[in-house]
Amino acid sequence: MISVDEAVEKVLEHIDVLEAEESPVLGCLGQVLAEDIFSPINIPPLDNSAMDGYAVRSADTRGASRKSPRFLRVIETVTAGAIPECEVKPGTAIRIMTGAAIPEGADGVVRFEYTDESERQGTPQEIGILTEVEPGSEVRRAGEDITAGSLVLRKGTVIRPAEVGVLASLGRSKVMVIRRPVVAILATGDEVVDIAQPLPQGKIYNSNSYSVAALVLRYGAIPKLLGIASDSEDSLLARLRLGQDADMVITSGGVSLGDYDMVREVLAKQGEIVFWQVRQKPGKPLVFGVFRGMGRGGGVRNIPLFGLAGNPVSAMINFELFARPAILKMMGRKNLVKPTVEVVIEDTIKNTDGRRIFARAIVEKRGGQYFARLTGPQGSGILTSMALANGLVVIPEDKPGVKRGDLVKVMMLDWSEEVE
Ligand code: AMP
Ligand code: MG
């Protein structure tokens, strides 16, 4: 049996970053850029107004105040997207809207609030300026955000909504990103039936494939459901072959010591076992290895395979600890660690057999301090404990437990990976 940390290390040794592909910009959220992005244009492209007001020569506003306005002749109105026709000569002004190009001759904008426009009828022929403006006032300079030719986003950047916006601002509709892995998901067990079927006596619905598929989606990969294999080598192998063009295979169940736990046998025959059993609770029976499949071109493909424990809580925790970082690594992500916070624990938890415990907990912040209490019964079959939890209390393998009031670490399930 190996430790959680050793197991994560061994998993990541077997995972390679996938290839890049061109993808529409909106489909790239959470993916990693596979090219440096240079700007072909200045942003903004022209000097433009930051406010609705009047474009003026700042020298014409010297000495202007509410008591002593400076009057200028209005020669044009320029709207956003239009190019001004006239030049602002001494004694004149151009009415200008936010985002419109600054006219020739003007070097500042006076906002409507600092003019007497509200006292005039219709579009004025003349405007009273009620304040002095400095050169450059309310002017956004061409290229002040991005200059043409500059490196805007580096290869390796994770694409968030802001990056999607920046790419769109450059007119990029497609970019090169590391592609999303396809993850084949297989349930096992003679007792497991599909959720679309009536439930015969003695059977249970296949929840694992769905919780795992939802996790696969959450972390940015593409789930491919392979259905349910019965507890025979033939059935398992036949179903696994349906997943041999995937980038990863995840099974659940069939990895313990029961008479019908076939996943390890099949993996040993059709690939290689890297490790089996991890010093953790729940989720100890996890098996990880490499499944030898046939690629479309006929060549052999080594596909990482996670045989998650069958109990629904164990399967999800196995996924979070091992499959999640593997998927993120495939996608080129560098931050693979879920954030932990230190909490005051409000329950007593015993650790009797030297495994790392992951207890489902509800974490709350009160008066600047995090507190955590258990969700209730901690059986590995109680899937609603995962639905109630927002964190997993982590009790180290070498600690006999924690008691109410102790400080402990909690892995936050709904927080994004830590920035290292
Ligand atoms: P196993 O390791 O195959 O004996 O599975 C352990 C427990 O998890 C058993 O109680 C199974 O019925 C349950 N289990 C296995 N696969 C699933 C599944 N896909 N959905 C829900 N429960 C499952
Ligand atoms: Mg089973």
Atom nearest to 309 CA in ligand 1: 2
Query: Do the beta carbons of residue 206 and residue 186 sit within 8 Å?
Result: no
- What lines the ligand 1 site, CB under 6 Å? 187, 189, 191-192, 204, 206-209, 252-256, 258, 310-312
Alpha-carbon span 123 to 109, nearest angstrom: 17
Read off the tokens for 207: 């929840």
Q: How far apart are the first and last CA of the chain?
A: 29
Query: What is the pLDDT at residue 297?
Result: 85
Read off the tokens for 95: 């009415």
- For ligand 2, the distance from its centroid to the CA atom of residue 416, given in whole angstroms, is 32
Read off the tokens for 83: 């190019």
In the chain (420 residues long), the average pLDDT of successive 10-residue segments reads 98 98 97 98 98 98 98 98 97 98 98 97 94 98 98 98 98 98 98 98 98 98 98 97 97 94 96 98 98 90 98 98 98 97 98 97 98 98 98 97 98 92
Query: What is the pLDDT at residue 298?
Result: 85
Those residues with Cβ within 8 angstroms of residue 24's Cβ, 6 or more apart along the chain or in another chain: 173, 174
- In DSSP terms, 32 is beta-bridged to 158
Atom nearest to 256 CA in ligand 1: 2
Would you call the peptide bond into 44 cis, given omega within 30 degrees of 0 as the criterion? Answer: yes
Query: Do the beta carbons of residue 332 and residue 18 sit within 8 Å?
Result: yes
Half-sphere exposure of 24 (CA within 13 A, CB side): 2
Query: What is the pLDDT at residue 296?
Result: 84
Half-sphere exposure of 22 (CA within 13 A, CB side): 3
Residue 6 region by backbone torsions, left for phi larger than 0, else alpha for psi between -120 and 50, else beta: alpha
Q: Which residues of 156-188 are buried (b: 16+ CB within 10 A; e: fewer)?
A: ebbbeeebbebbeebebeebbbbbbbbbbbbbb
- For ligand 1, the distance from its centroid to the CA atom of residue 148, given in whole angstroms, is 58
Looking at the CA of 186, name the nearest ligand. 1
Alpha-carbon span 319 to 332, nearest angstrom: 18
How many beta carbons lie within 10 A of that of residue 382, not counting itself?
Answer: 17
Q: Whose CA is nearest to atom 6 of ligand 1?
A: 310
Phi, psi of 79 (to 5 degrees): -100, 165
Query: What is the pLDDT at residue 122?
Result: 87
- For ligand 1, the distance from its centroid to the CA atom of residue 257, given in whole angstroms, is 13
Query: What is the pLDDT at residue 260?
Result: 87
Please report, as a single letter, which amino acid is at residue 206. N
DSSP-assigned letter for residue 260: T
Those residues with Cβ within 8 angstroms of residue 408's Cβ, 6 or more apart along the chain or in another chain: 342, 343, 345, 372, 393, 394, 395, 402
Alpha-carbon span 26 to 210, nearest angstrom: 25
Read off the tokens for 344: 């005051």
Among residues 334, 332, 317, the alpha carbon closest in space to that of 381 is found at 317
- For ligand 1, the distance from its centroid to the CA atom of residue 414, given in whole angstroms, is 25
Query: What is the pLDDT at residue 398?
Result: 96
Atom nearest to 188 CA in ligand 1: 16
Looking at the CA of 310, name the nearest ligand. 1
Read off the tokens for 306: 């996670």
- For ligand 1, the distance from its centroid to the CA atom of residue 189, given in whole angstroms, is 7
Q: Whose CA is nearest to atom 14 of ligand 1?
A: 310
Among residues 284, 268, 197, 201, the alpha carbon closest in space to that of 236 is found at 268
Atom nearest to 191 CA in ligand 1: 12
Those residues with Cβ within 8 angstroms of residue 77's Cβ, 6 or more apart along the chain or in another chain: 94, 95, 96, 97, 123
- For ligand 2, the distance from its centroid to the CA atom of residue 258, given in whole angstroms, is 8
- For ligand 1, the distance from its centroid to the CA atom of residue 316, given in whole angstroms, is 12
Alpha-carbon span 1 to 10, nearest angstrom: 13
Atom nearest to 187 CA in ligand 1: 19
Looking at the CA of 315, name the nearest ligand. 1
Q: Which residues surround ligand 2, an ion (CB under 5 A)?
A: 189, 253-254
Q: Look-up: residue for tokens 């102790």?
A: 406
